[in-house]
Amino acid sequence: MTRIKIISKVMSVALLLALILTAALPALAQADAPQLPHFFYGTVHVRYSAGGALVDAPIGMVITATVLGVEKGSWTVTVAGKYGDHPWQHLLVQDNITDGSIIYFWVNGWFTGQSDLFQSGEVTELNLSANLFVPGGGGGTPPGPTATPTSTATPTSTATPTGSPSPTATGSPGPTATGTPGPTATGAPGPLSLTIGFWDTDNGGQGSMGNDGVVQTTITAHSQDGTVTVEIPAGTEVLDADGNPVTEITIELATSTPPVPEGYFLIQAFDFGPDGTTFDPYMTITLEYDLSQLPAGQEPVIAYYDEAAGEWVFVTGAVDAINGTIIFTIEHLTTFAVMGHAATPGGGGGIALWVWIMIGFIALLALVFIIWLLMRRRAAPAEVEVESDITPEDDAF
């Protein structure tokens, strides 16, 4: 009887220790197993002017990955047109990032307009491209090729020969008058201009436009309160739905909007018009939002309303959560909104699969032990007390 009680106490202590270990394993595993990075690799190309060709990013350019405005990884190009060397080397995006967070990619400070969702341990091929001529699109100065456009100013020196008195007076008048009008009509700005107005100012910015709807000089426009900035690069074609040049763009604060998707809340909506206006390649928009409107654990996103589909469509943008700005590009005008939504839970990469397997194994052992203990107790013979008439003296005899 005493031996059975001792065994039962030992088994109870062992069971208690197993249960404590099982409960503590998740915290221990999360502390001991560091979060795995998200691995990226692929091609990287850049364009130095509107309408220019994409070329391999040269050696020395830096690809940067940011999450909520904070750099989480970078790669310096060592082979033109490539970053990473799968399966051996990758751009590592890491440092305590919540699974599902949006990663934005930049090339030499210029936003690529591309993003991906962070997944700890994932390996992703993502081919990047960036336009290094968009004003305000990033910091720094595009290398080499950007110097070539400035050299186009030198042909204007051909005007000096026309200034010489005698040759110009004798031979030049006729040919000059006949030959100049053609080229001037195609290359000159033309009589059109594009005006951008906001809800708080009628003329936030203006620039010349050709008869074909192509913007001649970069147009930058700001709302009076500074919350919205619009930039249309030189060479952008701005047309309406019928293919005609658009000479006026308006941006108003939206007074009513369709219901936002479940799990999101509206911060501010803007009506861009006229509807159906298109940009080739695009227009860049910078929106400032009130950080106080985003409670802890919330993230800002951009969406436009697709009237034909009757739904909100989310747009990739570069979020600066420190200064409260979002930069994104659009190719058409409609209603755009800044929304907030809860950040995806599960930061730190979660618990590794092998840890869950170990926890399950220990739990199974504990269950087997409990069953064994119950069966052991049931099989143990009951203690029977037997009365005896034999006295100690009789036993001694």
Supply the CATH number for residue 222's domain: 2.60.220
Residue 127 sits in a domain whose CATH number is: 2.60.40
Question: Would 291 be classed as within a structural domain?
Answer: yes
How high is the pLDDT of residue 189?
Answer: 46
Tell whether 249 and 327 lie within a shared domain: yes
Task: Answer with the one of 101, 117, 140 that is the final residue of a domain.
Answer: 140
Report if residue 330 sits inside a domain.
yes
Residue 319: predicted pLDDT: 74
**Do 258 and 195 belong together in one domain?**
yes
Kindly state whether residue 13 falls inside one of the protein's structural domains.
Answer: no
What token pair was written down for 3?
């031996």
Task: Measure CA 91 to chain center.
Answer: 15
Place of tokens 């009130």: 290
pLDDT lower than 70: segments of the chain: 1-33, 134-190, 321, 342-356, 379-397
CA dihedral 76, 79, 81, 83 (to 10 degrees): -50
For the chain, the maximum distance between any two Cα atoms, rounded to a whole number of angstroms, is: 161
Name the phi and psi angles at 62, rounded to 5: -115, 125
Residue pair 204/230 in contact (Cβ under 8 Å)? The answer is yes
Residue 200 CB neighbour total at 10 angstroms: 15
Report the chain's C-alpha Rg in angstroms. Answer: 36
pLDDT of residue 195: 93
Q: Tell me how many domains the chain contains.
A: 2
Q: Decide if 71 is inside a domain.
A: yes
pLDDT of residue 380: 64
Spatial separation of the C-alpha atoms in residues 286 and 325, rounded to whole Å:
7
Is residue 86 in a domain?
Answer: yes
Helix extents (H) in the chain: 2-32, 147-150, 159-162, 165-170, 173-179, 181-187, 353-379, 392-396
Q: Same domain, yes or no, for 98 and 193? A: no
Q: Chain-centre distance of CA 148, in angstroms?
A: 32
- Could you tell me which of 317, 308, 310 has the C-alpha nearest to residue 339? 317
Contact between residue 61 and residue 142 where contact means Cβ atoms under 8 Å apart = no
Is residue 352 situated within a structural domain?
Answer: no
Domain that holds residue 111: 38-140
